[in-house]
């Protein structure tokens, strides 16, 4: 058994016995803000027919091409593929993109933000491997992606911390200086960690992300099968600034929940500068509303990738984020096909911080 495998087994056994005292926080690790320097970005190339049927998949791949080309201007994009066939498919779409590499890590679906490891930085880079249960055991066919997260962690060779807690990367956002933001609807949902209360979960976030304050919002948007992920409704965008989704149409089901979240942010000791970003027009299929949101943007080294949906809110969102990130290019990516899978740009990316 190799050194990293031994550490992994020791962490697992130690947590089972309640003996682990070393945490990322105790060893000086913290989760950097997304706008801090990246060494690269992980994505998983789309292929699951249950998520993206054959009539939609080419449009999803087109969005991936836009995304990878924009990110590759400033960082390496590390693309997860199942096998030689999967790599050939991705390469055929990404001709002449030099800052892309391919990792043979088998996955079921694209949501690496949620099943992949969370990177923390200290004297080196380490990983926090939360457990993934397909958003409260909603999708049995996606449960194997918990093992995909383990495989990706092993591929890095970095130290891995295992809190033994169910948590998805899209449910948290950090400012890099001690604050982590999340929602009660998701983290306190009994379909994740039924034996843990608010205080225990706060402690886990602080110990594993190097945070000293948890900012709790209430709930997420209609159509979000993740039970209120923060990356659809509010994001740190630098310093004291937060971007927040708003829905001005009073009859819309998102109006009151987003208004309540906005009140919490604006009333948070008066120390947040809030950028209001409108929700896009309602999008739906026969199965119900899709969770379209401009807040599901991804901050790369040189570019901020922003989901667009072909409505009037696109222009407003791009302009507002241009003001929040004046040193980066703001790149709109058409996500009308990608959101069919119930997520967009932030959901399919995971940053790898630079030392």
- Indicate the number of domains in the chain: 1
pLDDT tens-digit profile of 313-327?
999 999 999 999 999
Q: Are 80 and 44 in contact (CB under 8 A)?
A: yes
* φ, ψ (nearest 5 deg) of residue 344: -135, -135
Domain containing 148 equals 3-353
Question: What pLDDT score was predicted for residue 271?
Answer: 86
In whole angstroms, give the CA distance from residue 291 to residue 341.
Answer: 9
pLDDT tens-digit profile of 247-262?
999 999 999 999 999 9
Under DSSP, the state recorded for 296 is -
Any idea which residues carry the catalytic annotation? Answer: 347
Of the candidates 175, 178, 209, 172, the one whose C-alpha atom is nearest the C-alpha of residue 192 is 172
Q: What CATH number did the domain enclosing 53 receive? A: 3.75.10.10
Q: What is the pTM of this model?
A: 0.94
How many residues are listed for the chain in this entry? 355
In whole angstroms, give the CA distance from residue 198 to residue 8.
Answer: 27
Residue 70 has pLDDT above 90, yes or no: yes
In whole angstroms, give the CA distance from residue 53 to residue 62.
Answer: 14
Average pLDDT over residues 15-35: 81
Question: What pLDDT score was predicted for residue 20?
Answer: 53
Q: What are the CA-CA distances from residue 181 to residues 26, 171, 264, 288 (Å)?
A: 21, 8, 12, 28
Residue 11 has pLDDT above 80, yes or no: no
Residue 15 has pLDDT above 70, yes or no: no
For the record, the structure tokens of 3 come out as 């050194």
């Amino acid at each position: 058994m190799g050194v990293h495998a031994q550490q992994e087994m020791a962490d697992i056994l130690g947590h089972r016995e309640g003996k682990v005292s070393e945490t990322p926080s105790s060893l000086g690790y913290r989760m950097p803000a997304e706008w801090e320097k990246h060494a690269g970005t992980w994505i998983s190339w789309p292929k699951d027919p249950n998520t993206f049927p054959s009539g939609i998949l080419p449009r999803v791949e087109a969005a991936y091409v836009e995304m990878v080309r924009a990110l590759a201007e400033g960082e390496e994009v590390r693309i997860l593929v199942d096998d030689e066939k999967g790599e050939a498919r991705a390469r055929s779409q990404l001709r002449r993109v030099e800052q892309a590499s391919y990792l043979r890590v088998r996955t079921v679906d694209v949501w690496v933000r949620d099943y992949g490891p969370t990177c923390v930085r200290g004297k080196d880079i380490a990983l926090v491997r939360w457990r993934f249960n397909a958003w409260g055991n909603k999708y049995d066919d996606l449960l194997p992606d918990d093992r995909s997260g383990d495989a990706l962690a092993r591929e890095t060779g970095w130290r891995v911390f295992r809190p033994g807690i169910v948590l998805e990367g899209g449910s948290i956002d950090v400012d890099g200086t001690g604050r982590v933001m999340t929602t009660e609807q998701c983290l306190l949902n009994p379909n994740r960690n039924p034996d843990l209360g608010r205080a225990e979960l706060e402690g886990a976030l602080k110990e594993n992300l190097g945070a000293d304050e948890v900012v709790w919002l209430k709930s997420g948007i209609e159509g979000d099968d993740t039970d209120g992920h923060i990356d659809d409704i509010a994001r740190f965008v630098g310093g004291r600034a937060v971007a927040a989704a708003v829905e001005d149409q009073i009859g819309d089901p998102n109006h009151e929940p987003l208004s309540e979240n906005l009140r919490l942010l604006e009333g948070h000791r008066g120390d947040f500068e809030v950028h209001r970003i409108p929700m896009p027009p309602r999008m739906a299929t026969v199965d119900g509303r899709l969770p379209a949101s401009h807040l599901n943007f991804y901050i790369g080294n040189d570019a901020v990738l922003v989901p667009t949906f072909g409505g009037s809110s696109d222009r407003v969102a791009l302009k507002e984020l241009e003001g929040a990130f004046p040193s980066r290019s703001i790149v709109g990516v058409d996500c009308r096909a990608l959101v069919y899978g119930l997520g967009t740009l932030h959901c399919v990316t995971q940053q790898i911080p630079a030392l």
